[in-house]
Structure 1
Amino acid sequence: MSATTTPTDRTGDPGDRVELPEGAAPVGRYANADLLPVPLAQRRWTTYNFAALWVGMAHNIASWTLASGLVALGMDWKQAVLTIAAANVIVLVPMLLTGHAGPKYGIPFPVFARAAFGVRGANLPALVRAAVACAWFGIQTWIGGSGIFLLAGRLLGDWWSGAGHIGGYPWTQWLSFLLFWAVQIAIIVRGMETVRRFENWAAPFVIAGALALLAWMSVKAGGLGPLLDQPSKLGWGSGFWKVFFPSLMGMIGFWSTLSLNIPDFTRYAATQRAQLWGQSLGLPTTMTAFALLSVLVTSGSQAVYGTAIWDPVALAAKLDNWAAILFALVTVLVATLSVNIAANTVSPAFDLSNVAPRLISFRAGALITAAVGIVILPWKLISSPQAYIYTWLGTVAGLLGTVAGVLIADYWLIRRTRLDLPDLYRAGGRYWYDGGWNWRAVLAFAVGGVLAIGGSHSAPGAGPFPSGGLIPALKPLADYGWAVGLGAALVLHTALSRLIPDRRAAQLDGLAEAPLTEPRG
């Protein structure tokens, strides 16, 4: 059942879907066509669409290798799969909580963040999220391009794989990178409906490719290899739990970015149930099954080649049939396209549009993201993963836990899921606060961020943090950074909002009599 509210309606049932009356779309410097609420008639994503979205995003090279990192830490395959399953059940909770605003109001993440951080202040979490996405877009594009280069070399021969070098890499690898980059842009600039259609057929295709790889390896191995029989080096005692909890936070961090900007997708949901069941069925089950699949295939490679090959591209390169190599090439292409478009392009496109709505559309934001993905030199980031990918990107992802804490507290505990749609797009309304910024949310973000990453540390020479941590007293919290940041920000924002409520919103609700100062500019 759906409901249409007037611009001043603030008491609708939390289960209702809200849209602005015809002709009442906000205008001005904080609105554009891409940021406005999606009309009810255009909210068509079903449970299958959301499940397919997650299947498409989860089935990628980075997800495939998650279990290998845990096994390298001393876990056996059962402990690794358990850790990944637990992490994705946990991260599903904030994802569903923040995703609720999408079907109800049809708004993207940066507009949703305006309620908590202020109409202008929302640019803070939006740009932090966009920075992570732009970096990962470049990295995933380089990984996808490298996969194309490697597998194409098996088909085209030495003239391709042994081409002359430019900047340390064969020119054919640069060509693969740029072609892969261009294909992604061609899809994303056509809009979210094209993204939905692409994810719909990409999901079953990638599943078929992964199962085909398992079948091929099982035949070659004459059964599964010895990896499944290897005992845990940690056992199930205190040694395991010391590794489990920081590993759990790392696995949560893998999708912590999507737990923020999931309204960018759920705003297109046909019903609230569609996003709830679609995500619940799509995320934890797919990630767990994919982790198990990667373990099974890798165990087979151990039996066939004498060493465990965790990289699916490197494993596919060992195929001896041109048709199989071509199928593997297309599978790698589709899998990487699927995750990069959905996870690393849609979000920064909306986030950058939010910075200057009059100047930057969704398509322009996507093009800026693609450009930044090259400018950051992702091939250099890949060359030092400990210092840049796992430390820098991991740290920024930890900060996103504090953003989630603020958003969940504001939407569910303070506002009880009720938002004033027109005020999200104008100065002087209930979400204007002080000059467009809500200092309560900013303070909660800052405190949560310090607690989350203040004790982060790196091995000598491996990253930007000193080995003792930025704030040694906070070092015990570093292994639980995402949870600490989320919890601290949630509690602090709730307390500040209740103890020191905003005067502007209070007067609009008829709870205060002091006159308001009109915003300037």
Structure 2
Amino acid sequence: MKTQVDSGGIVTLTKEGENLIKDSPLFNEGLRPTTMEEHSWTSYNFASLWIGMSICLPAYSLAAGLIALGMNWWQAIITIILGNCIVLIPILLNSHAGTKFGIPYPVYARLWFGSKGAHIPAVARGLVGAGWFGINCWFGGTAIDTLLMSMSSWGNVTGHTWIAFIGFWALNVWIAYRGPETIRKMEFWAAPTLIVMSLALLVWALTKAGGWGPMLSAPSKFNTAGEFLVVFFPSLTGAIAFWATMALNIPDFCRYAKSQRAQIIGQSTSLPTTMGGFSFIGVAVASATVVIYGEALWDPAAVLAKFSPFAIFLGTIGIILATLTTNVAANVVAPARAIENLAPRRMTFGAGAIITGVVALVMQPWYILDNFGNYIFLWLGTYAALLGPIDGIAIADYWMVRKRRIHLTELYHPNGIYSYKGGYNWHAIWALAIGIAVPFISRLIPGLGFIWDNAWTVGLFVSLIFYTWFMKNSSSVMNEKEYNKITAHVDTQAS
């Protein structure tokens, strides 16, 4: 019986396939495969998604952090662009699965970890997403607090910073609660607005500072290549880790892609360019403040606070928009889906969004942002070591083990071929454990610190290699004949 149909590279369920899974305890409306009609996202939708997510206060602060660690402007920008080009590779590799089979990340994870084991990578990604959610709320809330103080006597209000933070946190939770379609609509209009506002800030800095020369003349603090590399590699890992989260749950968005071409073009043209461009704006504007005000202002809210009241008002709207577009898209969808996947018949996306907001508060984002060391080395570096191995397992499973062949209905059967033994694929668990252990152990051994500095990359390749080896004789892998037996092929070219 044909349970799925491949039309121009997009696989959807047949009526028979839909009937097989609709009563499954692993099924609900948010976790089901998308229909052909739902594959509607164009290249512009994906470009606007990444533009909206990349123009954010944490990206601005990432560039600032690299300058604070001793890099000059071009060393910081190259590090960030290189990191984003590297992380774009697993993003596109995992995007293919989401686009072709229309499944969200927690369901995709069932393929490699099992029907129950999928909670391991889903919750891991969800916790990091919740952490980022809190970080963005703290960035946005404190920025709003700074701008309100510059316009009024807001600073005299007891607990004004915490009031601004909690208020902004509540706004983020409310918008996220409304669901992914609201996110798509918001990104569509936010992207061009944020580009215009960012360029306006750059033009102001260029004009006030008297040209590029005074803005970008600060030298690197490193005297030798060795001194630079000590900082470069962990910083590169931090730049990679910045979007390593999305490299995992990008199927949550690409399941709506109109075609593989649409998602590839949209993502490839927007992620490295926007992150590099906005980071450059951050470095240039902060450098300009040295010339204009005699000190480097790395907080964009502190820069805006020196403007006229009307400009401050517009800047506040820009900061709110920049933070919202990043937070609700990049940091809520994954944890909300992970929570939904814990109990598909009882949990909804909206409930997952609310729980994500609460967990974000428990993770105390104000501590993570206490200094640049916590931000780049503790936060970004540590979770890179945890997520890199999961990326490696995902890539190995889809591209090397299964050769892009998935039995969709089996992903929703508690005792199907992707349930393995008791719902857990121990091959994936062992590959994950090894991929995490190698960088962490190397951190403790003198002379092997280089491995920890590149924890995401090392963990990815270690887990990829071990998982491929462990799975070489797995009974869950279909050959081409078995795949064609359950898949109808329609000779229609995807647009």
Normalised TM-score (structure 1): 0.87
Q: Which residue of 2 aligns with 1:484?
A: 458
Decide which moves more: 172-181 or 30-39. Answer: 172-181
The reply to whether residue 24 of structure 1 matches residue 12 of structure 2 is: no
Label 1:178 to 1:64 Cα distance change in 2 as closer, same or farther (>3 A). same
Q: Which residue of 1 aligns with 2:211?
A: 223
Given that 1:424 and 1:431 are in contact with CA atoms closer than 8 Å, whether structure 2 keeps it comes out as: yes
Equivalent AA in structure 2 for residue 422 of structure 1: T
The reply to whether residue 322 of structure 1 matches residue 294 of structure 2 is: no
Q: Residue 296 of structure 2 is aligned with which of 308, 321, 324?
A: 308
Given that 1:225 and 1:302 are in contact with CA atoms closer than 8 Å, whether structure 2 keeps it comes out as: no
Using the TM superposition, give the Cα deviation of residue 504 of structure 1 relative to its aligned residue in structure 2, in angstroms: 5.6
Using the TM superposition, give the Cα deviation of residue 91 of structure 1 relative to its aligned residue in structure 2, in angstroms: 0.5
Give SS of 1:74's match. Answer: coil
Separation in 2 of the partners of 1:148 and 1:22? 51
Given that 2:34 and 2:256 are in contact with CA atoms closer than 8 Å, whether structure 1 keeps it comes out as: yes
Label 1:436 to 1:384 Cα distance change in 2 as closer, same or farther (>3 A). same
Equivalent AA in structure 2 for residue 162 of structure 1: N
Label 1:476 to 1:78 Cα distance change in 2 as closer, same or farther (>3 A). closer
Q: Which residue of 2 aligns with 1:290?
A: 278
Using the TM superposition, give the Cα deviation of residue 479 of structure 1 relative to its aligned residue in structure 2, in angstroms: 0.9
Using the TM superposition, give the Cα deviation of residue 446 of structure 1 relative to its aligned residue in structure 2, in angstroms: 0.4
Q: Which residue of 2 aligns with 1:86?
A: 82
Q: Which residue of 1 aligns with 2:148?
A: 152
The reply to whether residue 245 of structure 1 matches residue 239 of structure 2 is: no
Q: Which residue of 1 aligns with 2:179?
A: 191
Give SS of 1:18's match. Answer: strand
Q: Which residue of 2 aligns with 1:448?
A: 435
**Equivalent residues in 2 for 1:353-372, closer than 5 Å:** 353-372=340-359
Given that 1:381 and 1:389 are in contact with CA atoms closer than 8 Å, whether structure 2 keeps it comes out as: no
**Aligned alpha-carbon RMSD (Å):** 2.3
Separation in 2 of the partners of 1:233 and 1:505? 53
Equivalent AA in structure 2 for residue 489 of structure 1: S
Separation in 2 of the partners of 1:264 and 1:35? 10
Could you give the per-residue CA deviations for residues 24-68 of structure 1, whole angstroms, max 9, x where no partner exists?
331321111100011110121110111111111111111012222
Separation in 2 of the partners of 1:86 and 1:218? 26
Q: Which residue of 1 aligns with 2:418?
A: 431
Given that 2:402 and 2:477 are in contact with CA atoms closer than 8 Å, whether structure 1 keeps it comes out as: no
Could you give the per-residue CA deviations for residues 475-512 of structure 1, whole angstroms, max 9, x where no partner exists?
341111011000000000001111xx2346579988xx
Q: Which residue of 2 aligns with 1:459?
A: none
Q: Which residue of 2 aligns with 1:519?
A: none
Separation in 1 of the partners of 2:368 and 2:233? 27
Q: Which residue of 2 aligns with 1:257?
A: 245
Could you give the per-residue CA deviations for residues 158-195 of structure 1, whole angstroms, max 9, x where no partner exists?
2x11212xxxxx2x333322221222223222221111
Equivalent AA in structure 2 for residue 22 of structure 1: K
Equivalent AA in structure 1 for residue 155 of structure 2: S
- Matched-pair identity in %: 44
Q: Which residue of 1 aligns with 2:136?
A: 140
Could you give the per-residue CA deviations for residues 8-39 of structure 1, whole angstroms, max 9, x where no partner exists?
67xx69x6101111363313211111000111
Given that 2:385 and 2:455 are in contact with CA atoms closer than 8 Å, whether structure 1 keeps it comes out as: yes
**Equivalent residues in 2 for 1:404-415, closer than 5 Å:** 404-415=391-402
Separation in 1 of the partners of 2:342 and 2:480? 26
Q: Which residue of 2 aligns with 1:126?
A: 122
Give SS of 1:234's match. Answer: coil
Give SS of 2:242's match. Answer: helix
Separation in 1 of the partners of 2:164 and 2:16? 47
**Equivalent residues in 2 for 1:158-169, closer than 5 Å:** 158=153, 160-164=154-158
Label 1:282 to 1:78 Cα distance change in 2 as closer, same or farther (>3 A). same
Using the TM superposition, give the Cα deviation of residue 437 of structure 1 relative to its aligned residue in structure 2, in angstroms: 0.7
Separation in 1 of the partners of 2:406 and 2:263? 19
Bigger helix fraction: 2
Separation in 2 of the partners of 1:405 and 1:491? 8
Decide which moves more: 291-300 or 340-349. Answer: 291-300
**Equivalent residues in 2 for 1:41-60, closer than 5 Å:** 41-60=37-56
Q: Which residue of 2 aligns with 1:336?
A: 323
Decide which moves more: 290-299 or 431-440. Answer: 290-299
Could you give the per-residue CA deviations for residues 206-231 of structure 1, whole angstroms, max 9, x where no partner exists?
11111121222223223346351233
Separation in 2 of the partners of 1:452 and 1:420? 34
Separation in 2 of the partners of 1:233 and 1:390? 19
Separation in 2 of the partners of 1:126 and 1:509? 31
Q: Which residue of 2 aligns with 1:517?
A: none
Q: Residue 189 of structure 2 is aligned with which of 194, 197, 201?
A: 201
Using the TM superposition, give the Cα deviation of residue 415 of structure 1 relative to its aligned residue in structure 2, in angstroms: 0.7
Given that 2:431 and 2:463 are in contact with CA atoms closer than 8 Å, whether structure 1 keeps it comes out as: yes
Q: Residue 394 of structure 1 is aligned with which of 370, 381, 401?
A: 381
Using the TM superposition, give the Cα deviation of residue 472 of structure 1 relative to its aligned residue in structure 2, in angstroms: 5.1
Given that 2:147 and 2:301 are in contact with CA atoms closer than 8 Å, whether structure 1 keeps it comes out as: yes
- Segments of 5+ residues of structure 1 without an aligned counterpart are 165-169, 457-468, 511-521
Separation in 2 of the partners of 1:478 and 1:345? 28
Using the TM superposition, give the Cα deviation of residue 330 of structure 1 relative to its aligned residue in structure 2, in angstroms: 0.3
Separation in 2 of the partners of 1:298 and 1:476? 31
How many residues are aligned here? Answer: 480
Q: Which residue of 2 aligns with 1:350?
A: 337
Decide which moves more: 56-65 or 181-190. Answer: 181-190
Separation in 2 of the partners of 1:60 and 1:182? 18
Separation in 2 of the partners of 1:359 and 1:213? 47
Given that 1:431 and 1:505 are in contact with CA atoms closer than 8 Å, whether structure 2 keeps it comes out as: no
Normalised TM-score (structure 2): 0.91
Separation in 2 of the partners of 1:381 and 1:252? 18
Label 1:387 to 1:211 Cα distance change in 2 as closer, same or farther (>3 A). closer
Q: Which residue of 2 aligns with 1:462?
A: none
Q: Which residue of 2 aligns with 1:113?
A: 109
Q: Which residue of 2 aligns with 1:466?
A: none
Give SS of 1:286's match. Answer: helix
